[in-house]
Amino acid sequence: MSESLNVGMIGYAFMGAAHSHAWRTAPRFFDLPLAPRMTALAGRDPERVAAAAGKLGWDSSETDWRRLVERDDIDLIDICVPGNLHAEIAIAALEAGKHVLCEKPLANSVEEAEQMTAAAEAAKAKGVYAMCGFSYRRTPALSLAKQLVDSGALGPIRHVRAQYLQDWLTDENAPLTWRLDKTKSGSGSLGDIGAHIIDAAQWVAGSSITGVSAIMETFVKERPVGGDFVGLGGVGGADGPKGPVTVDDAAMFTARFAGTAENPGGAVGVFEATRFALGRKNAMRVELNGAKASLAFDFEDMNSLWFYDAADGPNSGFRKIQATEPEHPYTGNWWPVGHGLGYEHAFTHQVVDLVGAIANGEQPTPSFADALRVQRVLAAVEASAEDESRWTTV
Amino acid sequence: MSESLNVGMIGYAFMGAAHSHAWRTAPRFFDLPLAPRMTALAGRDPERVAAAAGKLGWDSSETDWRRLVERDDIDLIDICVPGNLHAEIAIAALEAGKHVLCEKPLANSVEEAEQMTAAAEAAKAKGVYAMCGFSYRRTPALSLAKQLVDSGALGPIRHVRAQYLQDWLTDENAPLTWRLDKTKSGSGSLGDIGAHIIDAAQWVAGSSITGVSAIMETFVKERPVGGDFVGLGGVGGADGPKGPVTVDDAAMFTARFAGTAENPGGAVGVFEATRFALGRKNAMRVELNGAKASLAFDFEDMNSLWFYDAADGPNSGFRKIQATEPEHPYTGNWWPVGHGLGYEHAFTHQVVDLVGAIANGEQPTPSFADALRVQRVLAAVEASAEDESRWTTV
Amino acid sequence: MSESLNVGMIGYAFMGAAHSHAWRTAPRFFDLPLAPRMTALAGRDPERVAAAAGKLGWDSSETDWRRLVERDDIDLIDICVPGNLHAEIAIAALEAGKHVLCEKPLANSVEEAEQMTAAAEAAKAKGVYAMCGFSYRRTPALSLAKQLVDSGALGPIRHVRAQYLQDWLTDENAPLTWRLDKTKSGSGSLGDIGAHIIDAAQWVAGSSITGVSAIMETFVKERPVGGDFVGLGGVGGADGPKGPVTVDDAAMFTARFAGTAENPGGAVGVFEATRFALGRKNAMRVELNGAKASLAFDFEDMNSLWFYDAADGPNSGFRKIQATEPEHPYTGNWWPVGHGLGYEHAFTHQVVDLVGAIANGEQPTPSFADALRVQRVLAAVEASAEDESRWTTV
Amino acid sequence: MSESLNVGMIGYAFMGAAHSHAWRTAPRFFDLPLAPRMTALAGRDPERVAAAAGKLGWDSSETDWRRLVERDDIDLIDICVPGNLHAEIAIAALEAGKHVLCEKPLANSVEEAEQMTAAAEAAKAKGVYAMCGFSYRRTPALSLAKQLVDSGALGPIRHVRAQYLQDWLTDENAPLTWRLDKTKSGSGSLGDIGAHIIDAAQWVAGSSITGVSAIMETFVKERPVGGDFVGLGGVGGADGPKGPVTVDDAAMFTARFAGTAENPGGAVGVFEATRFALGRKNAMRVELNGAKASLAFDFEDMNSLWFYDAADGPNSGFRKIQATEPEHPYTGNWWPVGHGLGYEHAFTHQVVDLVGAIANGEQPTPSFADALRVQRVLAAVEASAEDESRWTTV
């Protein structure tokens, strides 16, 4: 096989498991120009990180992320920890000449994101690359959406409609995890899931958000501390002590997108992110309405892309494209048509594209600069929500 | 049969056809306490109104709506003309002691709506009733949604999500009809279809909107004058003269709902009305997420209500209730289960409820006061959109 | 208006209500060359038939159907009674020079159906026409399916897949109505709902069934006599006396269709009719798979036709066509796009087409000969089921 | 980690890739009592098998499957080759004391399947186990269906409705692969995909098929030899030489299921398997209608199970259960709710259950005896189709 790419990963919770699977799986289904090696896993608790390394397939473990940055046998640092740690780690890694894959949102503030982007630009000049993990871009159906827009199939885009609806905080006794602590997570639904639809919308539409008007809400102000964790949320104790929720439960905003040569007026958008949409488990949805065609995606039916082409005339209708054809992005390396992929495949595709870009000396996408654009939107949403929903330019 | 209720209707276009069908059909499927008689139809052109009266089943025709108000043999005036004429007609009719059914939106301004509401209050004291034609309330599935909320099934409501998506103006050469002329229609998508989802959301949620932040957009600024009309839109001439579109093509806003004893925080809402959502033909959608259950309705699948009940436990899921059971609102008078109803049935049910209320000496709903509440939201949306999307109380 | 067509109808239950609505409504939405007049309604009980005539809008009533046949002021007899009475009435009416609209299935035996067809042929020579009420043909989405097949869009058809799934007999205590009595209904699910999918499949596919292999089943052998009737079924008494169910609860069969010049091999088919598919309320479904395209219809979503066109290439997918465009069958006379129609509209369209054919001196479809073809399939299904499912030619 | 279980796999095409992924992935997400080791891969071509071993992650390769059976360091033989080779390999492996996982259908004839089952029974007495790879049983939504039936939620089952619809042979120029050669594959759609729905139906319903009546069809009698293979099918040359298709393109049959104590009458069933259902990519569907509840599954929406519970009363409706809750089969070891799984996860779960059974000294399911029951149905279908569709007992 080809030259190896030695990876060190930091963090081994939900995202760590997904990234590990991706590093392990990508070379089995795709021909990679570099052979990823799962060299080391870092975490704070020696026993737990060693156990996780064994379970997830890493060759060794470290209890300080700085060790990964120092080690000569590490080529790439994969950051899977809460957002408050992203900037320090990513900048140190880039300065040490390590490629970086950093989970989203890029940072907990625009300032940090700017510093990270500056570090990434500096590293790029030396052939060291940074990428942000907006993994949904690599879900085949959403990637196909991007292809359709890029092909001009939609014509000028008038509407963007994006929602990320979950329900795991509906129970008032779900426990107070780090995701509800602003010092760790930066924000609540906005940064966690809102960031995904902001990135997806800007990327698929091929245009940036220029301004927003927002409201945000925290429905449940206090939650039980401790409790047993299950999935993203957990089962808390209704009777025990409670602590304050310091992030948003839901964020909603209207938006305008930059005009383009073809579409000088630009599109208008409506966004909503919440963890209180009871019954919606992972409804990450993006719909675009153009002058010639429309498309709609919902992650709860992740192998399909709905496409409406006005050229079909009176017998037009939203087509349920099963994005599993050999011609579709990534799917030719997997199973026969109609044999759907799952959530984690996007992470595998992320590894495929990242490794390919590094081998080719090209900037992988989304770059930190792309992620900074998302961060600026997050900041504008918060600013508008705090200022009577006034229109806030990005 | 029972005593008659003599109806005079003004206007005979799209809405006039729907209302005529309703007056004709209601007594055939429902036992009405008063027998509606289609006494007279009013319109300006003598030949066309006479032809329409014959076609639609009215006993006579008039060329001036004032004649209907004057005629002693008319008990109820049904107003199916553009919004700029509503106030004058409705007030005159109520003052003349005629019951009134007025199409929505109630008026083209809050001031008119207030005057109409005052007239309705005065008339009510004399046993004369006014009702506004937010007909979607009588679509069985949406009416079932209201029942479920009223029963407490949803618990405190956190989210309201309402869209009315159409696409008949996507073509830039669709002609400049009265619906695009602010002096006649008052507004564009906002008042035409946005009003429906505002009314539906407030009614189903059982709570009023207290404030909004909005943006509005007119994508196509000029359109061909003249042209042949088809459906709501038409086929214009791309090369002929054009005139200015003076209304909005799309309106989007976030909202907050009044708290209630059970739900002191109130719900947050996101609304969108557009005629440019290519591929969406009549997607009038309302979704509510409560603490205990959720429900979702889409008029494009109008005989179904989706209902999610968290009490179903791990095997919960959105249920597709076919709202055609004998126990469901209105449907017991129609066909066996699963034999769906259509758009016009809501108008027939509107007649049923209106006639029943009049016979019982009760206020039919939605009252003009209810419709005024919608009008105030429309005004707040416009005000916010003109003031940098600033939060605007209703 | 135009010359009148005086109608006499026999029976006023479920079908009678649907037909009355159609006669009343058709001229209001369509320009008919003859003006239907609802002249007389016949039933056995004088009081009940008189009340029904008033309610449904008939000018007079009779207590013997023979009187309708004798009356000079009746031009057309509309037969809405159980199948055991069809032959006698239809033949008498045709011989008396009356046009006939007869509910489906045409008769309770092939012999009767043959006699009726012979009478219809004889009458046709005198300008008197007979039609069988397979009303689903006039549901716009299914009619659009027929247009697509006729246009050659599907290419050679390989598969026909048809189901009619209801659930109103699932309850073992649903009462023993006439529909469960073989002497009145001829058969159970087979003739009642199976006949609809047989007709629809043959009509849409443009090819006749040539042979079948079948099984039939009666799950519940005895049911309560008496009881209160609700919808198609009713609420019986679990503890009262019971009587034998003499018809099938479910019928399932495989089939082959005649080859055509374009498709010499012919299609294969699978059919299922049942009233025990719990949760399926009125799932009348037809799917065709051709070499070039496929289509699928489900009455529970009656305003949509799903269409898959292989010519769309890798981005093909089943399109949800909302069959409400002005270009679609019948819909241009109703509401704007996306404003769905209901169950009863097919009956209105049936009247439109029947009146048009009579006025033009043309044979309306489905003719009695078409309905006889269905009857022969029903007989072959029963014969096969009684003979170890052996292949039985039609 | 725990004691190892050394696996030798034979074949490395579509199924080989899926099985390799499963062996590799299972221990990363599940705690296994034995540690699978991917010891050796066997294939005929030395270079290709060595390359495949490297790509798929096997430690070594062999060019004769007999070597795997002989090697002492192999504990389990995983058979992923065409059906004509199953019997010889499986029997040799079992006799050599190796556990066996054999792809479905178990064999190409009942005779072979009986011999294999006898070998499995003999081996079981020595603590050596055999399992057949009806992997769909381990798709969480279908496994949940089984749980619901076993819990009694459905009550007596009246209807089974199963389809496996694909379309990859619709093109008449798709090439003549081994799957179309009866000597290799045993049958066409019947054994390849029909076997899956027969197994799934019997397993979920908890009852065996007792008799069938069938038709089978080969629409395209000759196909191009050679050609490039893509997915399951391929792209052939329309102008080159052709060879005969010796298997069925489609198989359809009605069936009856054995009665049970609770349901003495037994269910009736309708089955259809085809590769010519244009537009249906992998529609593996099973629906059961019971007296108390119904359920429906479609692999094209593989993470959902539709469940209708009559106990929900008038507001019942098919619930779309997203089978991704921690309480659902297998899913707690993967991602948060709503983050769907893909096709290959069923193979991973198969490994989990197989390893667990071996470690516990329990018979894994489906056993060869279970698979033999499927084989007998396949044989009865073929016998009926060749005998005028006559009812054929299994």
Chain C neighbors of A296, CB-CB under 8 A? none
Burial class (CB in 10 A: 0-12, 13-18, 19+), C259: middle
Q: What is the pLDDT of residue C26?
A: 98
Q: Find the Cα–Cα–Cα–Cα dihedral A122, A126, A128, A130, rounded to 10°.
A: 20
Interchain contact A53–D (C-beta under 8 A): no
Query: Phi/psi of residue B368, each to 5°?
Result: -65, -30
User: Lowest-confidence range among B26-30, B341-345, C106-110, C258-262?
Assistant: C258-262
Quick check: A335 and D322 CB within 8 A? no
DSSP-derived letter for residue A228 is B
Q: What is the pLDDT of residue C229?
A: 43
pTM of the model: 0.96
| Per-residue confidence in pLDDT tens, chain C, 394 aa | 479 999 999 999 999 999 999 999 999 999 999 999 999 999 999 999 999 999 999 999 999 999 999 999 999 999 999 999 999 999 999 999 999 999 999 999 999 999 999 999 999 999 999 999 999 999 999 999 999 999 999 999 999 999 999 999 999 999 998 889 999 888 999 999 999 999 999 999 999 999 999 999 999 999 998 754 444 544 445 667 999 999 999 999 999 999 988 888 899 999 999 999 999 999 999 999 999 999 999 999 999 999 999 999 999 999 999 999 999 999 999 999 999 999 999 999 999 999 999 999 999 999 999 999 999 999 999 999 999 999 999 9
Q: What is the pLDDT of residue C262?
A: 80
Quick check: B270 and A252 CB within 8 A? yes
For residue B1, is pLDDT > 60?
Answer: no
Distance, C-alpha C168 to centroid of its chain: 19
Q: Coil, helix or strand for A156?
A: coil
HEC-encoded secondary structure of chain C: CCCEEEEEEECCCHHHHHHHHHHHHHHHHCCCCCEEEEEEEECCCHHHHHHHHHHHCCCEEECCHHHHHHCCCCCEEEECCCHHHHHHHHHHHHHCCCEEEECCCCCCCHHHHHHHHHHHHHHHCCCCCEEECCHHHHCHHHHHHHHHHHCCCCCCEEEEEEEEECCCCCCCCCCCCHHHCHHHHCCCHHHHHHHHHHHHHHHHHCCCEEEEEEEEECCCCEEECCCEEECCEEECCCCCCEEECCCCCEEEEEEEECCCCCCCCCCEEEEEEECCCCCCCCEEEEEEEECCEEEEEEHHHCCEEEEEEHHHHHHCCEEEEECCCCCCCCHHHCCCCCCCCCCCHHHHHHHHHHHHHHHHCCCCCCCHHHHHHHHHHHHHHHHHHHCCCCCEEC
Burial class (CB in 10 A: 0-12, 13-18, 19+), A85: middle
- The pairing of beta strand A283-290 with beta strand A157-165: antiparallel
Q: Give the nearest partner residue to A282 out of D21, D57, D338, using CB atoms.
A: D338
Asked if residue C61 lies in contact with residue C385, where contact means CB atoms within 8 angstroms, the answer is no
- Mutation pick from B151, B303, B319 vs chain D, by most beta carbons of D within 10 Å, is B319
Q: What is the pLDDT of residue B238?
A: 60
Q: What is the pLDDT of residue A382?
A: 98
Across the strands, what pairs with C230? C233
Burial class (CB in 10 A: 0-12, 13-18, 19+), C361: exposed
Number of Cα atoms under 13 Å in the Cβ half of residue D82: 13
Interchain contact B313–C (C-beta under 8 A): no
State the average pLDDT over residues D61-83.
Answer: 96
Interchain contact A275–B (C-beta under 8 A): no
Chain B neighbors of C230, CB-CB under 8 A? 326
Q: What is the pLDDT of residue A238?
A: 60
Query: Phi/psi of residue D158, each to 5°?
Result: -100, -40
CA distance B296 to chain A (A): 10
Q: What is the pLDDT of residue C260?
A: 86
Interchain contact B292–A (C-beta under 8 A): yes
Per the omega criterion (within 30 degrees of 0), is the bond before B105 cis?
yes
Return the number of other C-beta atoms located less than 10 Å from residue D181's C-beta.
18
Return the number of other C-beta atoms located less than 10 Å from residue C354's C-beta.
26
State the average pLDDT over residues B333-354.
Answer: 97
Q: For D75, left (φ over 0), alpha (ψ -120 to 50), or beta?
A: alpha
Chain C neighbors of A328, CB-CB under 8 A? 314
Cα D19 to Cα D26, D101, D113, D369: the distances in Å are: 10, 10, 22, 22
Q: What is the largest CA-CA distance in chain D?
A: 65
D366-386 core/surface letters (b: 16 or more CB in 10 A; e: else): bbbbbbbbbbbbbbbbbebbe
Quick check: D144 and B321 CB within 8 A? no
CA distance C387 to chain D (A): 8
CA distance C25 to chain A (A): 26
- Which amino acid is present at B140? P
Q: What is the pLDDT of residue C362?
A: 98
Distance CA C78, CA C89 (A): 10
Distance CA A99, CA A80 (A): 14
Closest CA in chain A for residue C323: A315
Chain B neighbors of D326, CB-CB under 8 A? 314
Interchain contact C301–A (C-beta under 8 A): no
Which residues of chain A carry a pLDDT beneath 70?
A: 1, 227-239
pLDDT tens string D97-147 = 999 999 999 999 999 999 999 999 999 999 999 999 999 999 999 999 999
Q: Which chains touch C (3 or more CB pairs under 8 A)?
A: A, B, D
Q: For B330, left (φ over 0), alpha (ψ -120 to 50), or beta?
A: left
State the average pLDDT over residues B131-160.
Answer: 97
Q: What is the pLDDT of residue B4?
A: 96
Per the omega criterion (within 30 degrees of 0), is the bond before D105 cis?
yes
Asked if residue B308 lies in contact with residue B196, where contact means CB atoms within 8 angstroms, the answer is no
- Which amino acid is present at A361? G
For residue B235, is pLDDT > 80?
Answer: no
pLDDT tens string D4-60 = 999 999 999 999 999 999 999 999 999 999 999 999 999 999 999 999 999 999 999
Q: Which chains touch A (3 or more CB pairs under 8 A)?
A: B, C, D
State the average pLDDT over residues B85-99.
Answer: 98
Structure tokens at C166: 């209801």
